[in-house]
Amino acid sequence: MLDRLREKIIEFRDLRDWKQFHDPKNLAEAIAIESGELLENFLWKTCDESNNLNNETIISIGEEIADIAIFLTILAYELNLDIEEIVNRKLQLNEKRYPVETSRGSAKKNP
């Protein structure tokens, strides 16, 4: 599934000759900017309000998540990183760092 999506994203980009703009630095900046746009959907909302968003806001959030996912996919592609592989590796590291028996229900960050 991720492979087909990546191919579709890269094809979309390449048909528009946008690769020239997609160096790792600019992609990382784009991810940060899109993340800020995602955060705008939550600005000045309480936690309760953020759990009860209207449909228009949810659609906007989805569009920002899509933008972030697209730029992440391109960044990973440009750096020859396999998203599935690196996410699985990070989950394995986090399993060791945050064992269920000491982490369950706790927001405390381990060093």
Summarised one tens digit per residue, pLDDT across range 38-53 is 999 999 999 999 999 9
Q: Is the dihedral of CA 31, 33, 34, 38 positive or negative?
A: positive
CB 71 within 8 A of CB 27: yes
* CATH number for the domain whose boundaries are 2-103: 1.10.287.1080
Q: How far apart are CA 109 and CA 103, in angstroms?
A: 9
Residue 72 has φ and ψ, to the nearest 5°, of -60, -40
The reported pTM is 0.90
Predicted confidence (pLDDT) at residue 77 exceeds the cutoff of 80? yes
Per-residue pLDDT for 111 more than 70? no
Q: Give the start-to-end residue ranges of the domains of the chain.
A: 2-103
Please check the confidence at residue 11 and state whether its pLDDT lies above 90. Answer: yes
